[in-house]
Structure formats: C-alpha cells, structure tokens
Amino acid sequence: NAGVMQNPRHLVRRRGQEARLRCSPVKGHSHVYWYRQLPEEGLKFMVYLQKENIIDESGMPKERFSAEFPKEGPSILRIQQVVRGDSAAYFCASSPFGGLGSPLHFGNGTRLTVT
C-alpha cells in the first residue's frame, strides 16, 4: 500500500513565479490536510479538504494561496507570485475519515525554495 505521495520533493522558484505542489492521498482516503513547516518551527495547519470541497482554510494566507482536491486526481496547493517568505517544507496528510479520530500519516513533503 502506497502512503501519501507528494511531488515534487524539491521545488525552486524565483520570486514572482507560481508554485504547484501535488499530493496524492492514500488510496480510498477522501480527507486531505496541508501543513507548512518553517525552519526551526513546528508544523502549522494550512487547509483541510474533502473531495471537491474546502472545509477549513483558516490557516492559509488569503492572498496568493489556494488549494483544491478535485474528484479525480491529486490535491494541489498553489502559491502564486511566490516570495522568499514562502520558502518552507509543505506536508500533506490524508485520512479515510474526518474528526482526527485516527492519527494523520504524512507524505515526505515538498521543500520549496524561493530565490
């Protein structure tokens, strides 16, 4: 059984470019969570999605950031017009159910570097 798959593993973008981060959840999981980890910091919640719906995006900056989890295909975290402060590791996790009644299992993350 494949776990949560994220790609790319590393992404380098120049200031002002767009970054697209992809997350394929565990097969059969319909709940996806995105977290961001800045250097020397713990993980910070960004957004929680179910298939075709954004349930909670309260941790995501209102400008330049968007997320989707379409009926078919991976979840996408999109950052437009990246700035140096967006440099971080972005982790995705999936779950078969909501409610956090079972532990989240994370993908290996995408490390975004903005130059």
Partner 1 sequence: EDKVVQSPLSLVVHEGDTVTLNCSYEVTNFRSLLWYKQEKKAPTFLFMLTSSGIEKKSGRLSSILDKKELFSILNITATQTGDSAVYLCAVPQGGSEKLVFGKGTKLTVNP
CB of 19 to partner 1, least distance (A): 19
Nearer Cβ to partner 1 (48/69): 48
Q: Alpha-carbon distance 66 to 22, whole Å?
A: 12
Amino acid letter, 48: Y
The H-or-E segment that residue 104 falls in is none
Nearer Cβ to partner 1 (13/31): 31
Residues 6+ apart with CB under 8 A from 70: 51, 52
Q: Alpha-carbon distance 27 to 15, whole Å?
A: 35
CB of 54 to partner 1, least distance (A): 12
Nearer Cβ to partner 1 (17/68): 68
Q: Which residues make up the interface to partner 1 (CB under 8 A)? A: 4, 31, 33, 35, 40-45, 48, 55-56, 58-59, 91, 98-109
